[in-house]
Chain A
Amino acid sequence: MKKLSILFAAALLAGTAFATSARAGDELTVVSWGGSYSESQRKAFYEPYNAAGNKVTEAEYNGEVAKIKAMVEAKAITWDVIDADTATGLQGCAEGVLETIDWDKLGLDRSKFIGGDLLDCAVPNIVYGTIFGYDTTKLPEGPTTINDFFDLAKFPGKRGIFKNPTVNLEWALIADGVDAKDVYTMLSTPEGVDRAFKKLDTIKSEIIFWEAGAQAPQLLADGQVVMVSAWNGRLQTAIDADKKPFKIVWDHQGLDWDWWVITKGTPKLEEAYRFIAFASQPERMADQTNYIAYGPANKDAIPNVNPMTLPNLPTAPDNLKTAFNVDPQFWADHGDELKERFNAWLAK
């Protein structure tokens, strides 16, 4: 029995030794959304930053905001810098789980950033468009407007959509004839929400859902769907890097941001600032467009962007014609309710 207990003690000791070595040194952990998006960040930010003698550890998440909150409450921060969506930036700031950004400390000109003054706890990183795309070999006479996405008679076949009400409800109303600028007023009323869901009902039988950004181009590539909604960069990467015969429809793209945020109370605050300042330089942001077609939030980056890439960015003038901004305030208020209803709807 004695030997057993010695063995047991040794095992525990070994375990503790592992634990202490788990998070050593001055590594900065940067968390992002995975897939081709993380890859673009690896090439444009992490690798050159690490080459300059720093150490960034990258990690992936799927928007699990609960983890940020738990980390802050437990004062055990394992995510230092996070690439967050607008809702997280807004809500996290209000709940006090994100650091308020000191722009002087960053050494950046806030006015140079598209949407720079929108959130207090976040630095705009990219502007992305929620668009839809199709496979030109399957639909040679492809769809051109958002109405076509909802038109099963003209374009029969499955559609892939994001498993989230955001942009889907807006599109449903627009396809139902609502003017883009009235969409959020409309959605604030029960009748407007009903109308949006009624429109979604018309294509429900043909819908396949995706949850992670990389799934959208995958659905199209596998031939599971004839059209898919996606974040524009993901589809563009499939076209450019994987030579897929896809085409993006920019009609009524929903514009939104991704942001750099810093977890409140991180011991790596200085490094976090240093990393964000590095990643926000015009050259770095312009370099990222070589790997994924998202609009750099730093306006100074535009002159450095490869002219071939420019027309593929959501911020290109041609693509902005019918674009609308996804309203962060609206989704902060109605997100819970509409997500619940959306879940109820898709479960039926």
Chain B
Amino acid sequence: MALPPYMTTSERVSYYGVRVFVGAVLLFLIAPILAIMPLSFNSEAFFSYPMPGFSARWYTGGDDGFFTNARWTGALKLSVIVAIAATILATCLGTLAALGLSRSNIPGRAAIMAVLISPMIVPVIISAIGLFFFYAYTGLNGTLLGIILAHTALATPFVVITVTATLMSFDRTLMRAGASLGGAPHTVFFKVVLPLILPGVISGALFAFVTSFDEVIVILFIGGPEQRTLPRQMFSGIRELISPTITAAASVLIVFSTFLLVTVELLRRRSERLRGIKS
């Protein structure tokens, strides 16, 4: 890009200065995440460059391998089950609540909102201890249902926020149009409302999924011996003895989050297009 010829030297310096600075910051953001991925293909069990050779042993090498060690695959499976269940619950509950909240004339709206998003506000360590005691007395500690419910509670605020944001720009006359054309309320919902807010709902669901999939503190408190989710397995791994299998696990998760990022971005664009917002 050519600079306008009338710029002074100091302007030019600051122009390039800012660019170099921004480039450095962007590099700082992405480099640690990218640097760890090649290390997961190291043939030796250490963490510096240059690497003596490439190997897939931290992925498929029997006990060393992320996909071949029963502890890691078990953890992955459990995490996926919990995250899916929590996502379904959180998305249903959160979407319903957001639909309710979107009617403008609700008394005490701010207070209700504060309650609904409180799981996001309260520091997780406090939530973890509160849930630990509560679950201890209801016998939910160490059960799958307990973990799913806890993750649901932690994840709903994200659904509520994203769906509410989508509904804010939603044109309510469309609902009335649907109703006046003879649609029953649930027909109107499924035929008119849902398709329009669906991108928001799915983004919220993905946020909920990630929240559950990444959660490590609550599980340390309420998880029973059999409940080793992926983050918990990683956490005890880092704390005790860093094996390169952890870098493999981290790389798998990074690929996964890249996939989520792309999905959410595409959805966001689709939603903006649907609602006629030019980006």
A215 near B239 (CB under 8 angstroms)?
yes
Interface 9-mer from B35-43, B51-59, B141-149, B202-210:
B141-149
Interface pairs A-B: 5 shortest CB-CB: A59-B225, A19-B145, A18-B144, A214-B240, A74-B136
B140 / chain A contacts, CB cutoff of 8 Å: 19
A78 near B141 (CB under 8 angstroms)?
yes
A4 near B240 (CB under 8 angstroms)?
no
Name B residues whose Cβ lies closer than 8 Å to a Cβ of A: 81, 85, 88-89, 92-93, 95-96, 132-133, 136-146, 148-149, 185-186, 189-190, 224-227, 236, 239-242
A16 / chain B contacts, CB cutoff of 8 Å: 145
B133 near A70 (CB under 8 angstroms)?
yes
A: interface residue count bin: 35 or more
Interface 9-mer from A6-14, A197-205, A258-266:
A6-14
B189 near A11 (CB under 8 angstroms)?
no
Contact of B132 among A2, A29, A70, A211 (CB under 8 A): A70
B96 near A4 (CB under 8 angstroms)?
yes
A57 / chain B contacts, CB cutoff of 8 Å: 225-226
A75 / chain B contacts, CB cutoff of 8 Å: 139
B89 near A8 (CB under 8 angstroms)?
yes
Q: Quick one: CB contact mask for A194-235 with B, threshold 8 Å, 1 for yes?
A: 000000000000000001111100100000000000000000
A-B contact pairs, 14 of them (CB 8 A): A3-B190, A11-B85, A11-B88, A14-B85, A18-B148, A22-B143, A23-B143, A34-B240, A57-B225, A59-B224, A59-B225, A60-B236, A76-B141, A78-B142
Known contacts A22-B226, A57-B226; A212 and B139 CB within 8 A of each other: no
Residue A31 at the B interface, CB < 8 A? yes
A70 near B136 (CB under 8 angstroms)?
yes
Residue A35 at the B interface, CB < 8 A? yes
A78 near B240 (CB under 8 angstroms)?
no
Instruction: List CB contacts (< 8 Å) of A89-134 with chain B.
Output: none
Known contacts A8-B93, A22-B143, A23-B142; A15 and B148 CB within 8 A of each other: yes
**Given A19-B140, A21-B144, A31-B225; 20 other pairs, CB 8 A cutoff:** A1-B185, A7-B88, A15-B89, A15-B148, A19-B143, A19-B146, A22-B142, A23-B142, A23-B143, A23-B226, A57-B225, A57-B226, A59-B226, A74-B141, A76-B142, A78-B142, A78-B225, A211-B239, A214-B240, A215-B240
